[in-house]
Structure 1
Amino acid sequence: MSKKKYNIKNHNNCSCSNTHVNNKNVIVEYLYLDLKVCDRCMGTDSVLEDVLTTMLPVLEMAGYKVEFNKIEINTIEMANKYHFVSSPTILVNGQDICSTIEENNCSNCSEISNSNVDCRVYSYNGKVFEIPPKEMLAENILKAIFRNQKLTYNTKKYVLPSNLEKFFSGKLKKSNCSCGDDCC
């Protein structure tokens, strides 16, 4: 059996601009800080692509149209625009597929920003994972699809978490340093 490939769009438009989604449209958004250095972001990206590749034929057979967008959150302005609270985050029709946000130290993002940065971990079946298992993503994506077919966004005022503020300011400071990567 051959797997059907889906189109991955890398752009800065999120489903936030849509106020309503046809009940057979599914918008999956992958929000992340880095896909070059961060093992969590790269690992989650790979697992998510595998899960979506497997799920897509079944969802299409059921009449669903799936759109997948990868969105690199590389500035404070983007974090504010997307109400980004932790990396990495997976949204289905505007909703985080995980009900809680847990974090621990991320050595990769700490290295990128030259500061102590925490990134997301995922609890599933009593265990904590830095890269979510396929079963967890498949289960949570399906729950999100069937739980709510309408885009809804948290209406609370967004405040950039201090952890992300530290990441972006450290990254900026490190990139502006004239004495090389090793000094700051």
Structure 2
Amino acid sequence: MDFKESLCEPCGDLCGNEVDCRVWVYKGKEYNVPPKAMIIDAILREIYGNTEKMPDSEANKEPYQLPENLRRFFESNKNAI
């Protein structure tokens, strides 16, 4: 699965800062929200197995680090309270 981000004005308006939100890429198309078909495919792959498994990303092999855009979003919200 490809990982992309784009400027998200609604989230930026909420926290008073620029925020990049995730863009979901599924079967060559970009979505601002995860498409239902992608979620259903993932669930069915886990239940029944899959012959065309999605490759594991390097991010899954390393400890999780909060992306910079999310850190800024949460910092802005913390300061607004």
Q: TM-score, normalised by structure 2?
A: 0.69
Q: Considering only aligned residues, what root-mean-square deviation do their CA atoms show, in Å?
A: 2.2
Where 1:138 maps in the other structure, the secondary structure is helix
Whose relative contact order is higher, 1 or 2, with alpha carbons under 8 Å and at least 6 apart? 2
Q: Could you tell me which amino acid in structure 1 is paired with residue 22 of structure 2? A: R
Counterpart Cα distance in 2 of 1:108 and 1:141: 29
List, as ranges, runs of 4+ consecutive aligned residues in structure 1 with deviation greater than 4 Å.
none
Unaligned runs of 5+ in 2: 50-59
Counterpart Cα distance in 2 of 1:130 and 1:141: 20
Pick one of 144, 163, 171 that aligns with 2:69.
163
Unaligned runs of 5+ in 1: 1-98, 148-153, 176-184
1:67-111 Cα distance to aligned partner (Å, 9 max, x none): xxxxxxxxxxxxxxxxxxxxxxxxxxxxxxxx3322111122111
- CA distance change for structure 1 residues 142 and 157 in 2, over 3 Å: closer, same or farther? same
Larger radius of gyration: 1
- CA distance change for structure 1 residues 174 and 121 in 2, over 3 Å: closer, same or farther? same
Residue correspondences, number: 72
Where 1:120 maps in the other structure, the secondary structure is strand
Counterpart Cα distance in 1 of 2:22 and 2:47: 22
1:131 aligns with 2:37: no
- CA distance change for structure 1 residues 158 and 139 in 2, over 3 Å: closer, same or farther? closer
Q: TM-score, normalised by structure 1?
A: 0.34
Structure-to-structure mapping, 1:29-40, within 5 angstroms = none
| CA positional deviation for 1:116 | 0.5
| CA positional deviation for 1:162 | 1.0
- Same amino acid, percent of matched pairs: 37
1:15-58 Cα distance to aligned partner (Å, 9 max, x none): xxxxxxxxxxxxxxxxxxxxxxxxxxxxxxxxxxxxxxxxxxxx
